[in-house]
Structure 1
Amino acid sequence: MQTDTITEIVEKPPYTHLLYDYLVETVQLTELSAKYLNMVALLVALLIIVFVVDFIIRKLLLNTFTSFAAISKTNFDDLLVKNKVPRNIAHIIPLLLALEFIDKVFIDFPSFENIVEKGLKVFAIILSLWIVRSLLNTLKDYLKTIPSLKDKPIDSYIQVFMIFAWVAGFMSAIAIVTNIPFIKFVTGLGAISAVIILVFKDTIMGFVASIQVSINDMVRIGDWITFEKYGADGDVIEINLATVKVQNFDKTITTIPTYALISDSFKNWRGMTSSEGRRIKRALIIKQSGIKYLTDTDVEKLKHIQLITSYLEGRQADIKSYNETNKINKDLLLNGRNLTNIGVFRKYIDSYLKHHSAINKDMMIMARQLAPTPQGIPLEIYAFSSDKRWENYEYIMSDIFDHLLAALPYFELEIFELPSHGNF
């Protein structure tokens, strides 16, 4: 009997039954009622202590981190505060305190103690995930401030890690609630793996796509892409595990599944933006009826155009020498070698582009004639603008074609237009 009493004193600290003893001996409540009231009082006391400790530690950690961030040269600590890392870490000590004393609170109710202890352990798992998530978000924000990593799909990697973390946490929580060892629980998941794969199909596809997109360097944040299937035409602003967000030029946002980048065709304009120029490729449709051979009089008139004066003088001399050597009868203009107005105009375009200040002279410059169409002869300008910015590029291209359209009449050429029957 004496041994039992000593054991009871050792197992039950005196302070856990102060209220119980008072209620039974002084108030003369029943033992069961006294036990319940004693448990409630201890629980309230523990909650007050936990909340006070949590408040104090949270304030201390937050002030410490904030003060350190103010004098630190790096912004990593500022991002830790922004992503609530100190706030989440502050919950660890109150949680450990609760786990340490929960058996004292429910000393008379082991079944309640078991339920609450499991709940606290599950909360410990959730808290761990919160801390990991806030640390990863901090790391993500910090890496995005590094110039060489700004265009990398960091969000995808963070999300992949968090998915594995949440899955592991979820399985750990179930193992705690069901009292099944974690390893045994994981091995038992093999039977439902097909269901898991079906549920997480899009996530798995997005994960694989993110890896391929990153390894093959298909898309970066900031790239201009055109994806006609999804109506996307603009800059990539975010790449994560499931989606790629594109801000179109009208400022709307188009969301594309990540796996579509490897399963469908899209256009990435990065090659153009990283090159030395942006291509100009547009044609003038010349009316066929205006094309003709040039007489000497016509050539003399065109010599007043400075960009082609030397060309005409040289070509005219070469042609005259050829015709005289071969005794060509020039009574008919068709005979022998001749200049044409469209040919001279092509040469004018080529010379004009080579003298244009906004055209990159180190890249292809060409004015070429395409196959005739029912509308006329396409005369295509192929060159590269030095300025790749969209607004400036459009201005340069418009300036070039404004000039060429106005220059056509000097060569006795006309642009094709559909006939108009309107009364104006």
Structure 2
Amino acid sequence: MINISKKMLASDCVFVQIFGALTKHWGLGLSILGLIVLIPLFRNNKEIVDAVLAFISRIFDFIPHNQWYRFFLISLLIWIGIYALNTLTTIFSLQKKETRITWCQIFILLAIGLWILGLLLIFNITDKTINTAAFGIAASLLAWIFQDAIRGVVAFIHLRMNNLLQIDDWIKVPKYGINGKIRRVTLTTVTVYNWDTTTSAIPTSILLSEHFVNLQKMVDGKTHGRIFSKLFVMDTGSFYELSRKDADRFRKDNRITSCLPLKDIHDEMTNAELYRQYMFHWLMNNEHVSRVPYLTVSWQDHTENGLALQLTGLIKDSNAAAFEWQQSLIVEHVIQSVEWFGLRLYQAPSSFDTSSSTIYISKKPITK
């Protein structure tokens, strides 16, 4: 029975898959298979058909007089339906069939709604004689108990309607340290397979209430690149105005003129201004850095530590390893090139700087 169910679930036909999901559990499967086999045999035997119909009629005569039996029956049917839909959700997740996943979750929601409606009708809760206050308290209690599930349903509908989430999308949820690919999405839970081989299951509502990043379009190449932003604090004590001699020296430096036009190098400008222009042209000429939609090299607010130079743009290599490699090369070039312009990166004095200081404390006592 289990092998038959697996073959049906692997079919491309939706109806066959539904039947496979219903027959996945051996007890339920045998019952359904028994009905399919017996119905053709009984069809031409009037006595057996009459006996079966009489038996069913007695069951239905009994059901209306027992509310709890009717409640158990509808609960069982709803459970079977949800079980089958959850099985189909797993299969459709593996097949990456987003539309069918969404419909499965909608039918689960409808099944729960039918169960609640059946509960109201079976126990006649809609009767006007029922205490309205008691009904309101019960409804409020249920809403409080299932508040996470309700938020999850709202989040699921929002994410699906706006096409913000799909199977195999790479997402990041910084607050919860989640970084990986989506494996399953349901009304209440999103399952993510992280890059460190761990698995995270988070409520769907978190993706609506908390900040998350979907990087899939970037991975698929539907972007100008992956953003980088680096801040370098310069020691303003190394800033100075260029003399004509300094300008001539920079014009003769092939490392600088290979990126920066000679006309942009002149006296009366500062070495900090020259370096900012150099870094902009160097990034513009870097084949791994995108020129669109923006590429900026700008000075930020002055602080007690110095003046910060910020480099912001997009690296075309969106692959994680390639991106980090190119970003590291940019940082290393900044560290290497600042000395060409007589600039210094700021760093707070360390114990090494203190021990290397040329100021020594005299061993002799101070005499007046």
TM-score, normalization by structure 2: 0.68
The CA deviation string for residues 140-195 of structure 1, in whole angstroms up to 9 with x for no partner, is 35644666x54x7936x5345335425645876x79xxxxxx56746359845444
Secondary structure of 2:184's partner?
strand
Aligned to 2:226: 278
Residues 394 and 203 of structure 1: CA distance in aligned 2, closer, same or farther (over 3 Å): same
Aligned to 2:81: 132
Deviates more, 1:123-132 or 1:414-423: 123-132
Match among 245, 248, 266 for residue 211 of structure 2: 266
Shift of 1:133: 4.0
Secondary structure of 1:371's partner?
strand
Rounded Cα–Cα distance in structure 2 between residues aligned with 1:103 and 1:153 = 37
Aligned to 2:189: 243
Residues 292 and 365 of structure 1: CA distance in aligned 2, closer, same or farther (over 3 Å): same
Rounded Cα–Cα distance in structure 2 between residues aligned with 1:69 and 1:246 = 24
Asked if 1:225 corresponds to 2:172, the answer is yes
Residues 313 and 219 of structure 1: CA distance in aligned 2, closer, same or farther (over 3 Å): same
Residues 76 and 387 of structure 1: CA distance in aligned 2, closer, same or farther (over 3 Å): farther
Give the AA of the match of 1:85. Answer: T
Shift of 1:253: 4.0
Please tell me whether Structure 1 or Structure 2 has the larger radius of gyration of its CA atoms.
1
Secondary structure of 1:372's partner?
strand
Equivalent residues of 1:79, 1:141 under 8 A apart: no
Matches within 5 A, 1:176-195: 185=124, 187-188=126-127, 191=135, 192-195=138-141
Asked if 1:91 corresponds to 2:31, the answer is yes
Equivalent residues of 2:171, 2:216 under 8 A apart: no
Asked if 1:62 corresponds to 2:4, the answer is yes
Equivalent residues of 1:153, 1:220 under 8 A apart: no
Residues 62 and 233 of structure 1: CA distance in aligned 2, closer, same or farther (over 3 Å): closer
Asked if 1:290 corresponds to 2:238, the answer is yes
Shift of 1:208: 2.3
Match among 275, 281, 284 for residue 354 of structure 1: 284
Shift of 1:244: 3.0
Rounded Cα–Cα distance in structure 2 between residues aligned with 1:245 and 1:231 = 14
Rounded Cα–Cα distance in structure 1 between residues aligned with 2:206 and 2:193 = 17
Structure in which a larger fraction of residues adopt helix: 1
Shift of 1:122: 8.1
Rounded Cα–Cα distance in structure 1 between residues aligned with 2:101 and 2:241 = 64
Aligned to 1:302: 250
Equivalent residues of 1:369, 1:380 under 8 A apart: yes
The CA deviation string for residues 354-384 of structure 1, in whole angstroms up to 9 with x for no partner, is 2212112333222111122211121111121
Matches within 5 A, 1:310-349: 311=260, 313-316=262-265, 338-349=268-279
Rounded Cα–Cα distance in structure 2 between residues aligned with 1:124 and 1:94 = 20
Aligned to 1:396: 326
Number of residue pairs the alignment of both structures matches: 325
Shift of 1:247: 4.4
Equivalent residues of 2:192, 2:200 under 8 A apart: yes
Give the AA of the match of 1:62. Answer: I
Matches within 5 A, 1:402-421: 402-421=332-351
Equivalent residues of 2:191, 2:200 under 8 A apart: yes
Q: Percent identity?
A: 20
Give the AA of the match of 1:162. Answer: I
Aligned to 2:42: none
Residues 93 and 261 of structure 1: CA distance in aligned 2, closer, same or farther (over 3 Å): closer
Rounded Cα–Cα distance in structure 1 between residues aligned with 2:259 and 2:104 = 65
Match among 315, 328, 332 for residue 385 of structure 1: 315
Residues 347 and 93 of structure 1: CA distance in aligned 2, closer, same or farther (over 3 Å): closer
Residues 133 and 363 of structure 1: CA distance in aligned 2, closer, same or farther (over 3 Å): same
Rounded Cα–Cα distance in structure 2 between residues aligned with 1:183 and 1:80 = 28
Deviates more, 1:271-280 or 1:341-350: 271-280
Residues 125 and 101 of structure 1: CA distance in aligned 2, closer, same or farther (over 3 Å): farther
Secondary structure of 2:309's partner?
strand
Equivalent residues of 1:224, 1:233 under 8 A apart: yes
Equivalent residues of 1:235, 1:246 under 8 A apart: yes
Residues 184 and 85 of structure 1: CA distance in aligned 2, closer, same or farther (over 3 Å): same
Rounded Cα–Cα distance in structure 2 between residues aligned with 1:272 and 1:281 = 20
Aligned to 1:11: none
**5+ long unaligned stretches in structure 1:** 1-57, 176-181, 320-336
**5+ long unaligned stretches in structure 2:** 39-47, 357-368
TM-score, normalization by structure 1: 0.60
The CA deviation string for residues 4-41 of structure 1, in whole angstroms up to 9 with x for no partner, is xxxxxxxxxxxxxxxxxxxxxxxxxxxxxxxxxxxxxx
The CA deviation string for residues 400-419 of structure 1, in whole angstroms up to 9 with x for no partner, is 11122111211111111121
Rounded Cα–Cα distance in structure 1 between residues aligned with 2:184 and 2:302 = 46
Rounded Cα–Cα distance in structure 2 between residues aligned with 1:306 and 1:238 = 53
